Every structure is written in structure tokens, then in C-alpha cells.
Amino acid sequence: MKLMGMTITEKILAKHAGRDEVHPGELLNCRVDVVLGNDVTTPVAIEEFEKLQADRVFDRTRVVIVPDHFTPNKDIKSAEQAKGVRDFARKHGIVNYFEIGRMGIEHCLLPQEGLVLPGDLIIGADSHTCTYGALGAFSTGVGSTDMAAAMATGEAWFKVPETIKFVFRGELPPYVGGKDLILRVIGDIGVDGARYMAMEFTGPVISSLSMDNRFTMANMAIEAGGKNGIFAPDEITLDYVRGRNKREYTLYYSDADAQYAEIREYDVTNMEPVVAVPHLPENVRNVSEVAGTSIDQVVIGSCTNGRIEDLEMAAGILRGRRIHPEVRLIILPGTQEIYLEALRKGFIEIFIEAGAAVSTPTCGPCLGGHMGILARGERALATTNRNFVGRMGDPQSEVYLSSPVVAAASAIKGAITPPWEVK
């Protein structure tokens, strides 16, 4: 009997549930390949894990713990949280625990280390775990209790999501990249437009998009309420994965007759870089519509745009220039490896000469943790993913979201600026 066509998301879920076929709406119990936690979510997971009275984690190599939110620790309480996580990692012999100085922002670090691979089913106690969909994996954010249960059993329950397919055609204009594409999508469908659903990104534009741009797009699926964002693996994916992977992986592709809840088509040819204005990522404007909005701080980094290409784009704009005297520019490379590469390529020198502060990898200001908190009434332009009320500091501060190119250009002018105006 011929099976019904399935999407890549359905195939990965089916495989991990030991099934040949699954349909949207079905509840499944699945084997997970990787379970992730950070310094904010793991402490709660440890408490729950302890209630289970399990002697050990299901697999010491497949539990990954990255202290990245409040690290290097910003105060005594966060130091205690980090210590609790470190002690747990030692006690259980967690192989992939990443200490300060060897770490990075989790969603930049795991792909870099080859810990997440095409065809994997990954859960993480962090909403941006959806980032790894860029590799052709099913990857989604869960809470700490799910993390605890999966650490003990190696399993988690899922409802098979429906899929929305996004097809991108045309010619990408200069200065327009993955961040602009995903913000445009969120602007169109809203912050709950893909609630509970899989978002599959395809089309000729995607086929020639770099891995770093794909990570940026998959990263923000959650900002449309998505369960996961996913890309079919191709040569670009395999170039990235080869040499990093320490285990085998499987490539899955959507069937031609797979069922979609909706198919949305985009022609990118006339797109402009975009900016999301406060206080939701769906408030998307063309950069020229908000040009001239004054800013106090610019942040370039985060799991959305803290990778080497992001830094390269920012360096391209900042080279030989100085930022506006009334702006603070904070740059956070995503991982130590990215930091080192940026150093070797001369980007760090460009940033410091431009007047930027460059930090060791951390989430820092992205979630209003530390390293650049906003005072009441201040406004930031950031390459991060959320501009909720109070996200980067005082509830009466504001965050605008953009790509690194727009962020760098705006840092030079002291106001939101289209990149072509910095010449």
C-alpha cells in the first residue's frame, strides 16, 4: 500500500515514534536525540529530575547543558544557579557541559559543535531551540519539566503539527537577508500566525541562502508561535555538518504530495530591509519608514544574529568609521570560536576602533539580563528576536529589531538608518 505523502516534520516525528506514517493532530511518544538546558531553565529541571529519583540521565552524551543567560555570573543568585547546574553536570558526568570560556550562546554553540544534526529530534528548555531546524532537524522548545522527564527517559510527547509552507522566489536585493525574510513573515501572519504549527521554508531564494541566514530564520519561528521551523537539507547544509558531526545522521525531505495547511509565496525582488517596532515582533516596517528614529544603544549579537556572517556584515559597514557619539554599541559574538574567527579576520579591531564594546559570548542584554540594560525612556536597536515590554530593561524602555547591517548603519548615524545611506 502506498503511504500518504508526508512533510519533513512528519517524517522525522514518525521515525522517532517508530511509525511509518503520522498525521497532524496525532499524539506521539518519541525518542529524542538531544535534550538541552541552560542556566535559567536547568535549575528548575534539576528539582523535577530529583523528584523522579532516577539514578542517572538516559545518555550522558545526549544531555547538553550551556550556562549562557546570566554568565559570566552577574550576581550572587545567578552564581548559585550556575553552581547548581555545574554540580549536577559533574555528578551525572554530562559530557557536553560547556563552562565559561569554552562556551557560547546555546543555539550558536550546538550546531557549531556538531551536537545537533540533520534528521535529529531535539528538545530544549529554551524557546529558541527551534533554531536547529535550519539543519533539517525537528527541534522545538519545551519547559523545564519536559527537560527533566526527557533527561530521565530519553523520550517526550508531541502532537504532530500541521505545516505552513513558505516559498521564497526572486532575487534578494542588497542588504536584505534572512532576518528581513523572517521578520516579513512574522509581520504578515502575526505573533500567533503559526501557533502550534511547523513552518517549512523553501524556494530558490532559500536554496542559495547561507547556513547562518537559515539559522536566523529558523530561530524566529517561535516569534510567529511556530512549533518548529525547518529547511530541507542540501549541499550547503552538508558542507556545514561535515567535519563537525561525531555520529551518523539521516536526511529527510518532504514528499511532493505532502499535505500543507497553507502555502504562502513571497517574491523578494523588491524587498527592503525591515525593522520591528515595539512591542511585538509582528510590528514590521520597511527601514525607510522608521528612518530617523533616534537610538541610545545598539546591540549586535544573540542566538539570532551572533554568528560569523552577522559580524562580517556589521564589520563591512563599520570598517574605517566611528559610531555616533551619543550611541553605545555592544557586540556579542555568539561563541568563543566565532569570537576567535572574528578576531583573526580583523572584525574585532574594526569594532573597537569604531567605538564599540565587545563582550565575551553571553545572552546578556537580549533578555535584559546584564551587559547593557536600558534605563527608563531609552531606546535600543538590536539584532535580537524579541521586543516585548521590558525585554531589555526598564518596562518603559523600547527595543527595535533589525539585521546586523541596519544595526551597524544606525549606530553610525545615531538613528535608524537604511544601510545604503552610509557610504
- Give the footprint of another protein on this chain (CB under 8 A): 27, 40-41, 43-44, 47-48, 51-54, 69-70, 74-75, 77-78, 81, 124-127, 129, 141-146, 148-149, 152-153, 157, 191-192, 195-196, 222, 225, 227, 280, 367-369, 386, 388-391, 395
Q: Compare residues 209 and 366 and give the one whose CB is closer to ligand SF4.
A: 366
**Which grid coordinates are listed for 209?**
541562502
Q: β-strand 198-202 against 163-169: which pairing, if any?
A: parallel
Could you give phi then psi for residue 330, rounded to 5 degrees? -115, 125
CB atoms within 10 A of CB 257: 9
Q: Which of 367, 390, 394, 422 binds ligand SF4 (CB under 6 A)?
A: 367
The grid coordinates listed for 25 are 493532530
Least gap, CB of 125 to ligand SF4 (angstroms)? 11
Q: DSSP string of 188-224?
A: HH-TTTTTT-EEEEESHHHHT--HHHHHHHHHGGGGG
Binding-site partner at residue 7 among another protein, ligand SF4, none, CB < 5 to 8 Å by type:
none
Contact 201, 217 (CB under 8 A): yes
Judging by beta carbons within 10 Å of its beta carbon (0-12, 13-18, 19+), is residue 222 exposed, middle or buried? buried
Cβ-Cβ contacts under 8 Å for 25 (sequence gap 6 or more): 159, 160, 162
Instruction: Let me know how long the chain is.
Output: 423
How many other C-beta atoms are found inside a 10 Å radius of the C-beta of residue 270? 9
| Residue among 237 and 384 whose Cβ is closer to ligand SF4 | 384
**Residues 380-409, interacting with ligand SF4 (CB under 6 A):** 384-385
Strand partners, 231: 201
Q: Which is nearer to ligand SF4, 184 or 370 (CB)?
A: 370
Based on the shown chain and the rule CB under 6 A, indicate whether residue 216 belongs to the binding site for ligand SF4: no
Q: Which does 145 bind (CB under 5 to 8 A by kind): ligand SF4, another protein, none?
A: another protein
The nearest distance, CB 85 to another protein, in angstroms, is 11
The answer to whether 128 contacts ligand SF4 (rule: CB under 6 A) is yes
Q: Is 180 in the site for ligand SF4 (CB under 6 A)?
A: no
In the list ligand SF4, another protein, none, the entry touching 153 (Cβ below 5 to 8 angstroms by class) is: another protein
Q: Which of 36, 46, 85, 105 binds ligand SF4 (CB under 6 A)?
A: 105
Closer residue to another protein (CB): 131 or 237: 131
Is the separation of the CB atoms in 120 and 20 below 8 Å? no
Binding site for ligand SF4 (CB under 6 A): 69, 105-107, 126, 128, 302-303, 363, 366-367, 384-385
